[in-house]
Amino acid sequence: MVDAKMLNKMSSAPGFIAALDQSGGSTPGALRLYGVSDTDYQGDEEMFRLVHAMRVRIMSAPAFTGEKVIGAILFERTMDGDVDGEPVPSYLWEKRGVVPFLKIDKGLNAEENGVQTMKPMPDLDALLIRGREKGIFGTKMRSVIAHADKGGIAAVVEQQFQVARQIIGQGLMPIIEPEVSIKSPTKEQAEAILRDEIAERLDKLPAGEKVMLKLTIPTVADFYAPLVAHKSVIRVVALSGGYSTADACEKLSRNHGMIASFSRALAENLRVSMSDADFNASIAATIDQIYAASVNKS
C-alpha cells in the first residue's frame, strides 16, 4: 500500500512536482543549461557527480519545501545519493515535506508508427522494491508520441498501463507519461486520440486502483478535464516539453486541475556560477511562478 500521508498530500495539497530526473542521455544538456560545458568533465561518473551537486543545490534551497513543491521525481542515482549525509528520499520527505518519486524507464525504442515505446525493464520489480524500501512513494515512466497514429498511440498507452499495474502491485503510485511532442505537426489530433485511449483504460482499472498522469500541456485549454475528473486519477501533472518557463506557465494557467511537473523550465535560470544568495533567489522566484500557474486558475 502507498504511504497514506504522502497520498493525501499528492491528492489534495496545492503546489507542483519538480522533475529532477534527467538521465544519461539528457544530463549533458541539463549541465550545459546550468553553465557546465562538455569540456568541464570527463566520463559519466564526473558528469553524474556534477548533476547531483546541481540537484542537491536545488533541493536544499530555502524555497524548495512542501509548501509549494509537493513532489520531486528522482533519477535512480539521485535516489541512491544523499544530501548532507542523509538519503535523498528521506531528506525530501522528512526535512522538506516533499513526496519522492523515482524515474524507472530505461529509455525509448526507435520510432515506429509515429511513437517511441519504452525499452524493456527486466529488473523492474527489484528496482521497485528497492525504491519502496528507500521511502519512494511513486514512479514515473516516459513514452513519446510524435504523430497522430491511432495504432501507435494505442500501443504506447497499453504499455504504460501494463507497467502501471506492475507498479501498483509493488505498493507504489505510477505516473503514466505518454508525452506528445510539442513539435508534432499533428499535436492536437494526437491529443484527441490519446485522451480517448487513456480514458478507455482508466475505465478498466480494478476498483480502488489509482494512477497519476503526466501529459504535455494540451493545445486546447482544459482538453484533459475528463481525465482530471476521473475517479481512478489522483492528479494530472503537466510536463514543460521544451517550452520556456514563461510559455509553459502561461499555457498551464489555462488548464484547470493540472499542476506542473517541470524539469527544464524549473532550472532554466539557474547557473553554476551563481552565488548561493543569487541561486536561492532565482529558484525561489521560479518556484513562485510555477506554483502560481499550477494553483491560480482564472
Helices 150-169/187-204 angle, 10° precision? 40
Catalytic residue IDs: 177, 214
Would you call 113 helix, strand, or coil by DSSP?
A: coil
d(CA 252, CA 242): 13
Give the closest residue to 118 by CA, choosing from 127, 131, 105, 130.
Answer: 105
Determine the pLDDT at residue 24: 58
DSSP string across 263-278: SHHHHTT--TTS-HHH
| The pLDDT value given to residue 297 | 67
1-15 pLDDT tens trace: 789 999 999 999 999
For 28, the enclosing helix (H) or strand (E) is helix 27-34
For residues 52 and 117, give the distance between their C-alpha atoms in angstroms, rounded to a whole number: 28
- Does position 263 have pLDDT exceeding 80, yes or no? yes
Per-residue pLDDT tens over the stretch 216-234: 999 999 999 999 999 999 9
DSSP state of 190: H
pTM of the model: 0.95
Q: Bin 27: left if φ > 0, else alpha if -120 < ψ < 50, else beta.
A: alpha
